[in-house]
Structure formats: C-alpha cells, structure tokens
Chains A and B, each alone.
Chain A
C-alpha cells in the first residue's frame, strides 16, 4: 500500500448527513427512474391502452344498439367514456406499482434498501412516479374525446386531468401497499386481477349507478373506484348538451342515504384513501429487510 495521503487526482466525494434536502433528492430520483423506465418501455404504453380502448370502442359500439332504448339518445361510447378515463389510469398505475415486485426479483430493490435514505422517500417517489406515468397514459385517453362526441373543453380537460392524477396516485399507493408484501410477479398479478377487476366492474364505469339491485348498489357505494368514476362522469357530462331526462338517468350520482355526494367530497375520499394506503405501504416497507 502506498502512502497515498498526498494529493492525487482522485475525485473524492462525501456523503452528507441525512437531511430534508437529501430525502427530496431521493424522492426525485426514484420518481425520475419511473419516468425513464416508462419512456424506454414502449410496449407498456401500448399494452396498458389496449384494455380501456377495447371497452370503449368494442364494447361501447357493440352494445350501442341494445342500449339505445335506455340512454335517451346518448351514444353508449359517450356514456362509457368517463369510466374509461378512470380505468385507463387504473391499469397503468397498477403496472407501476408492480415494478416494486420486479425490482425485488431482479435485485435492484436492494440497492435502494441499503441507501442512507428513509424508506418513505422511496415509497413516495414510487407513488409519484406511478401517478405521473399513469396520468400521461390518461392524457392519451383524453385526446380521444372527439371520437366519442365529447368537446375539447379546456376546463373539462384540466378537471379530468387533475382527477386522474389523484386517482393514479391512490391506485399506485394501493398497488405498492400490496406489492411490498409479495415476492413474485405472478402472485402479484393474480392478486391485483382479483381486486382490480371487481372494483372496475362494480364502480359504475360501464353502467349508471341509479336503479341497481340493492346488493349491487351497496357494493357500489363501498367501491373506492366509484368515487373517481362518478365525478369524472359529472365533469364530462356538464360539458355536454343533454336532455334533462338523459342526465337524470345516466348521471344520477352516488347518494348516501338520499344525499348526493358532491364532487369535492368524492375527490377528497379518493385522496384520503390514497394517503391511508400510502401510510400503510411506508410502514410495511420500513419493516421489511
């Protein structure tokens, strides 16, 4: 060993004490990594779009004739569209959360686990990254508005986008909460399918929530996704010219014991649920090795 204490051209760096700034930096880089991965993974952009588009154009157009009697002149694709705005985010956010399981399988998670940062920074970065990626995907669906006779109204677009962002964040938090516990991709996908598909069907993305059989109506009110689909539909429909009858039967809204839940309360419910799940995810993530 040489006496290498003298000046030499080695670039030395020092790792500072943990601070809020360093945590924010960690959040930002984890977030950025999600974006980089999304950008390089073109397949994912397409595959996660397939399902929502199938529902919108194939199911919507296919059932249009059948449903004409009940929609009071509104095209079924137009009716389904707000639901699709919500679920396009759902699938992408779920995929983002799945990356934690990938990271574990491929060992990369370990690199983040041993870093001198809080585990919460990693979870928050993940959730923000998932939310961003999902919202980008949501924007693609927003762009399709014209194809289903919805006008490109800037206010509507902003409102829809904001709601998508909240939903994407909550769903990613939910996905991360599940993913932290699961060690294998197959099981994660299985679990998510088991939870996501019923949530999607019950949410009212594909049918109006008024006049449902009692059991379905009850389930609908307990489905968190319903509180994202309902305001989404209200926002979109407020920019359509519809007959009062059509509005009443198609956009009846979720009611709690006869009280129609306002949009802001619904959005707040989505956020609060998301934050609770984020908190659980952080606790779980902090206690795993």
Chain B
C-alpha cells in the first residue's frame, strides 16, 4: 500500500532503501517498512490529513537515510498501514533525529544515529547498559547538548528551542526525582506550577493521573513512605501532569518486581489508548521491548536494527538450539566439523542458530558421534529479541554488558595512558 503524502511540508525522496526486516506485522501500527520519509517542519495544526508517518525502518545505518528537503515523492511502503484517523497535530513525526552524535572527550557515546518516531507510537530503545541509550534520551530531553547532528522533538529543535521542547515533553528518569518530604499531591502540584498548568485544571488533572497509576488514595501521604514501585508510578503520573506530547521513560521498570513492571506496562498501554501520547523509552529487558510498536537496537553507540519486534524476529529466520554438554569447546568443534554449523558459547551453553530447530534436534541425536562429549540437555526456542540482538551484534545482551564493562575499563586505561602522550 502507499502512504498518502498530503501534508503541506515538503517531503523527500527517501534515503537509500535499507534492507532487512521487510515484513512488518500487520498489527503493529505505524511501521511501514518502506522508505517514504515525510519531513516537513511541524505543520501548523489544522489540515486534518491522513498522516504520512512512514519511517525508514530496517537497518537505520548511521550513514544512510540523509533526508534533504525536496518535493514529495511518496514511495512504496510494504508494511502495515499507518493509522489514518489522527486528525490535527500536523504530519510531522513526534521525534526526528538526524546523525546525532555525542562525544565525551575521546569517547564517542553516540555515533550518529538517525530515526523517526511517529505520533502515537511506543518506541523502544533496546541495548545493553552503556550502549548510549541514556545519552541519546538525554539529548532528546535537552539535558545534554549533542556534539553534532540534529533532533526535533514535537517539532522543536532540542538545541535552539529548548524551552519549547521542555513544555511538550514529560520525563521519567532512571533515578528517582520525587521529593520525599512532600506528599504525592504536593509533588504533582509543584510540577503543575513549574509548568504553568492552569490553576483550575490542576486538581482534575491530578486526579486523572493519580487514578491511572492507582495512587489517588495515597495522595496525602509523604512520598518518603512510598515503596520503590509506588515512587516510580508517581513519577510516571508526574511526567503526565502537563499533558506532554512525548513521554520519555528511561528504564521505567528497572529494579522493580515483576508485578509492578507489569502494572507499569499496563499504564503505558492505557496511556497510548487515552492520550494519543508518543512514548519513547529505553530498556534492557528483552521481554519488555516486545510491547513496543517499534524498537531500535542499539549497540556501541549505533543503531544496528530498527523495526517492529515481530519483523525483527521474523528477520532472524532461525531458531535457537541450546545444548548442554560437559565439554563445550569440544562440542562446538564437533558441531563445526560434523554438521558445518557455527556454534557459539553464550551464557554457559552451546548455542546454535538453525532454521527449523525442532526438526534439527532428532537429526542431531542420530548423527552425534559417540566420541563427542555426550549431550546432557537440549532446548529449542523460537527467535526472541535476544536472538535478534545476537544476530545483529554477535553476542547476547547479557554478554554484551559484561563486555561493555571490560571495554570501559580498557578505555579508562587508554585515557589515563593517553594523558601523558
């Protein structure tokens, strides 16, 4: 199907079509996998158009997808239909990022990322700790100045129009930022005053957001008595207090118990239904990323893959077969010599990516030479986002985190040594 490009702003012939993940799931909204890139600066409200919020998906390579402004040339989009019922708000995407770079001294934390987030989308940033997720989110929230590149949030430039961006975004940080001395209601009141929310709307809005996170009954209690999960819920409520157009959540569920994590996700879904809000979040929980409409997988400061979770998983094309043996090295060697398979050791088990894993297992047992170390256990799993991560980066996310800390140490050593050059 084609995306109708009816908005006023000039759209572009999209950048180089990028391969990978050509099959978007039909239920994932706003995930056309083609290459139409509506640009156009924030169109003023009015002009109820079917928004052409096609965004380049697949491998959003940092070098590709330059979007010079030109004339509208809607190209094909082979993915799902963008919701066409969103009137008003203009056709500009909620977030538009081009070649964003952030360096801290010699360390390049973010190495030129480009992507777009459509209005109303739940967009996830997935990657190991230290991949540059928080740095990216901080740049989009105007907390950190980009070293290079450009980013528009709710149609405003994050460097030149800091205030306009701030008025339109809600933030939920990784670390708690509520005032424990104040009550829940006082925290929200303070926020409303700082953001200039109309006085007569403060109370009803407060009730709305507190009821959503199930804290209305506790509004008069000092936050210092709240549990970690309650505080996080309060922060989410506070982030929504001024009806932001984009809500940024930096690891919203980190360190929370599974039950609270689930409830936080149900708020996020509810939000999406009720408030037409765009949600941009980071996470390193693979299972949570599944809830996003689209996810960008980030590793070493670059986006290595970007698509809907379903499309990403489908793009892997293989199942994961995990084998437990007493001698993993020998087993890996045996798999290579006998089956021609490239096995890897990850999280303490031999892992093979094969198409049709369930059929492969009987075959494996039949052919397994008795001279090889005996197989103690085997499991087959359909591709998960972890496999997606693995197929794009070559490691699992947990291994990557361990690597990352080793890498950081190395960088530190280099920096300390480099100081004397």
Contacts and interface: CB of A to CB of B under 8 A. Distances in A.
Chain A contact residues (Cβ within 8 angstroms of B): what range? 35 or more
A3 B83 contact: yes
A143 interface: no
B242 A13 contact: yes
A5 B171 contact: no
A18 B120 CA distance: 26
B403 interface: no
A107 B175 contact: yes
A289 B182 contact: no
B85 A5 contact: yes
Nearest to A118: B163
Nearest to B182: A36
B147 to A, nearest CB: 14
Interface string A106-125: 11101111111100000000
Interface in B168-223: 168, 171, 173, 175-182, 186, 189-198, 201-202, 204-205, 207-208, 222
Interface stretch (A23-31, A185-193, A256-264): A23-31
B194 A110 contact: no
What is the predominant secondary structure among interface residues of chain A facing chain B?
A: loop
A18 B163 contact: yes
Interface in B142-164: 142-144, 163
Contact of A117 (B189, B194, B208): B194
Contacts of A26: 193-194, 196
Contacts of A29: 189-190, 193-194
Contact of B208 (A4, A11, A33): A11
B275 interface: yes
A4 B274 CA distance: 7
A10 B243 CA distance: 10
Nearest to B163: A116
B175 to A, nearest CB: 5
A11 B87 CA distance: 19
A260 B160 CA distance: 54
Contact of B197 (A2, A15, A37, A113): A15
A22 interface: yes
A13 B191 CA distance: 13
Contacts of B197: 13, 15
A7 interface: no
A113 B29 CA distance: 35
B182 A2 contact: no
A117 B192 CA distance: 12
A22 to B, nearest CB: 4
Most buried by A among B29, B142, B179, B208: B179
Contacts of B25: none
B141 interface: yes
A16 B243 CA distance: 12
Contacts of B272: 1
B194 A4 contact: no
A3 B86 contact: yes
A8 B365 CA distance: 60
A29 B189 CA distance: 9
Contacts of B193: 25-26, 28-29
A14 B180 CA distance: 27
B290 interface: no
Contacts of B204: 11
A18 B163 CA distance: 8
Contacts of B181: 36-37, 40-41
A268 to B, nearest CB: 33
Given A16-B196, A117-B194, A110 B177 contact: yes
Interface in A91-117: 103, 106-108, 110-117
A13 B188 CA distance: 13
Given A8-B274, A40-B222, A289-B143, A111 B177 contact: yes
A116 B29 contact: no
A289 B190 CA distance: 21
A12 interface: yes
Nearest to B203: A11
Nearest to B175: A107
Nearest to B84: A3
A289 B274 contact: no
B242 to A, nearest CB: 5
Contacts of B191: 111, 115
Contacts of A108: 177-179
Interface string B38-74: 0000000000000000000000000000000000000
A25 B168 CA distance: 19
B196 A25 contact: yes
A10 B212 CA distance: 11
B8 interface: no
Nearest to B89: A5
Given A16-B196, A116-B196, A289-B143, 4 more contacts: A41-B181, A106-B180, A107-B175, A108-B179
29 contacts: A1-B83, A1-B272, A4-B275, A10-B275, A11-B205, A11-B208, A12-B243, A13-B241, A15-B168, A15-B196, A15-B197, A18-B196, A25-B194, A25-B196, A26-B194, A29-B193, A29-B194, A36-B186, A37-B179, A37-B181, A107-B173, A107-B175, A110-B177, A111-B238, A114-B141, A116-B195, A116-B196, A117-B194, A289-B144
Interface of A: 1-5, 8, 10-18, 22, 25-26, 28-29, 33, 36-37, 40-41, 103, 106-108, 110-117, 289
Interface of B: 29-30, 83, 85-88, 120, 141-144, 163, 166-168, 171, 173, 175-182, 186, 189-198, 201-202, 204-205, 207-208, 222, 238, 241-243, 272-276
Give 8 nearest A-B pairs by CB, closest first.
Answer: A3-B85, A29-B193, A115-B194, A22-B196, A15-B167, A107-B177, A116-B166, A11-B204
